[in-house]
Structure 1
């Protein structure tokens, strides 16, 4: 399953946006200034039907004095999420009321589970502010390519993991002979300088010839220009690139593992159990896979992955 040694910079993209200035409220049919997070009309990213048919928690699961009850009384789920992460959580520049992607759809489904409708307030975090936003109650949850690790788990709690990323392989869109890391023996492979791919690729394919570039845009251009047979980078970063550059695609599944969790306030075990039970429900019902297929799955030729096992990562 998906995961990597390197954390893509997507989680930090929200740092470029003022948190207070861009706290956006989202719900279906909301008025001016609200951000319903409704998907765009592009069929590759339209997850509105999935959200519409998402499960709603039974009344007895919203127990008195719980975080779930407080959210329900408030009438909105406050979410730490990016606004500029393609296929994960991206605001439509032509229609700011629309935010689409895997992470934001998951957040809307969680809101539907708690509230009966997908009302969310999106607050873009910086990678260094996520723990503080949870600790001070600014947000209820963080969906932000938030890698689970034991150090972070001393400051906040993690539900999940709900998704696993990792180093993956991208090639030009018209290429058919490379389907995974297994096909890179003897090939010229583009990597980012000082990224985990520098060690991981030779570990899998000792005969591959590495060509490194200082930045991700340089590496993408090198791939599109044919200066390498493949580009190895974190799956979510490759997916973001492929969403913008139609000349490239992802092949196969990630061959390393980095698990993402839903960030929660520290030691709220009741809320954590509630969310983990919700994750189990949408995984078993197939809705997790449907969201993946409409978002991250649109730029890869691999099959729908198996969701990561909840509680399977130290710190989760």
Structure 2
């Protein structure tokens, strides 16, 4: 028992240290050469439209602009700079995380960013990575700090009124992560009196606001902070996307997923509403990323990063386009 407790304490300390690194709103990360490239922001930030009216008119937020390889103002801005500036996570295991063996950012989202950079600039490494917290993803785009957000960001009507999304590149749903001996059975009344953790600005926080099941809700800047709270006994459960929860369970075998996903959600690459040409170009990249059946870049990335923990996926989600 003492050995197990020491291991959990050590894991919590390591995870907490990683969370401390991620606590900043926008931390510029070095590229593969170890340099931290400088980049200019837009000369004037482009504000998003007020979300309320646009969200009310939204019926299918996953329907994106049709692909195009025409260089418009946003693509020209990126080419003139010579770098793609991407907002990512650095603490989501197998999605966007700092690989301790190499020191490099790795994961499914990171592979996608490199594919976009290669298409735009001819070199997958011409990227400036910015670590962005969950709640700062939309502000980072509105303020011109990043060109794209590739950070397990769920497409929905409220967000689509503030930023533009690519077509969906992964499907998931909300699920609970709990200690394996917990009596919690799912997103139900077994949460009554419990402490449930969610990342601020996440769809999990939205679900808990709608129906907390008489639980007390703890919000933190990043998903990994919730895993730390769970490990330290400061939370009884974590609500997050099942795809993210599977990665956290892979990091700590003392926790696991419970219950079935109770929402249907899709991840998309987010961009500023004004950057329509960039949205079309990213959709063209995603078309190529999906192409090739079982040998497509998408399936290769899935097998490399996700298949061990998210079994049974045989194809990427089909894209939806506006008429």
Structure 2 gaps of 5+ residues are: 1-18, 38-67, 208-212, 219-225, 232-237
RMSD value, Cα: 4.2
Q: Give SS of 1:133's match.
A: helix
- Please report the TM-score for the alignment, with normalisation by the length of structure 2: 0.60
Q: CA deviation at 1:79?
A: 0.5
In 1, distance between residues paired with 2:100 and 2:120? 29
> What is the CA–CA distance in structure 2 between the aligned matches of 1:32 and 1:219, rounded to whole Å?
33
* Pairing of 1:1-316 with structure 2 (within 5 A): 16-19=23-26, 22-27=27-32, 30-33=33-36, 63-93=70-100, 95-96=102-103, 98-118=104-124, 119-167=126-174, 189=185, 193=194, 217=227, 234-246=241-253, 254=261, 256-285=263-292, 286-300=296-310, 302-311=311-320
Gaps in structure 1 of 5+ consecutive residues: 1-11, 35-60, 174-186, 201-209, 222-230
- Residues 73 and 267 of structure 1, relative CA distance in 2, 3 Å threshold: closer
d(CA) in 2 for partners of 1:255 and 1:307? 20
Q: What's the secondary structure of 1:121's corresponding residue? A: strand
Q: 1:32 to 1:265 in 2, by over 3 A?
A: closer
2:186–2:260 CA contact under 8 A, matched in 1: no
> Quick one: structure 1 residues 188 and 105, their matched pair in 2 at CA, closer, same or farther if it must change by over 3 Å?
same
| Shift in CA distance, 246/113, structure 1 to aligned 2, threshold 3 Å | farther
Q: Conserved in 1, the CA contact under 8 Å of 2:73 and 2:275? A: no
TM-aligned CA distance change 1:267 to 1:143, over 3 Å: same
Answer whether contact 1:63 1:69 (CA < 8 A) is retained: no
Question: Does the 8 Å CA contact 1:14/1:83 hold for their aligned counterparts?
Answer: no
Against the structure 1 CA distance between its residues 72 and 251, is the aligned structure 2 distance closer, same or farther, given a 3 Å change threshold?
farther
SS state at 1:189 partner: coil
User: SS state of the match for residue 87, structure 1?
Assistant: coil
CA drift of 1:267 comes to: 3.2
Once the two structures are TM-superposed, the CA of residue 130 in structure 1 deviates from its matched residue by 2.0
- Seen in structure 2, the aligned counterparts of structure 1 residues 31 and 256 have a Cα distance that, compared at 3 Å, is closer
Deviation at 1:154, TM superposition (A): 1.9
- How many residue pairs were aligned? 243
Partner of 1:48: none
Cα pair 1:14 1:125 within 8 Å, conserved: no
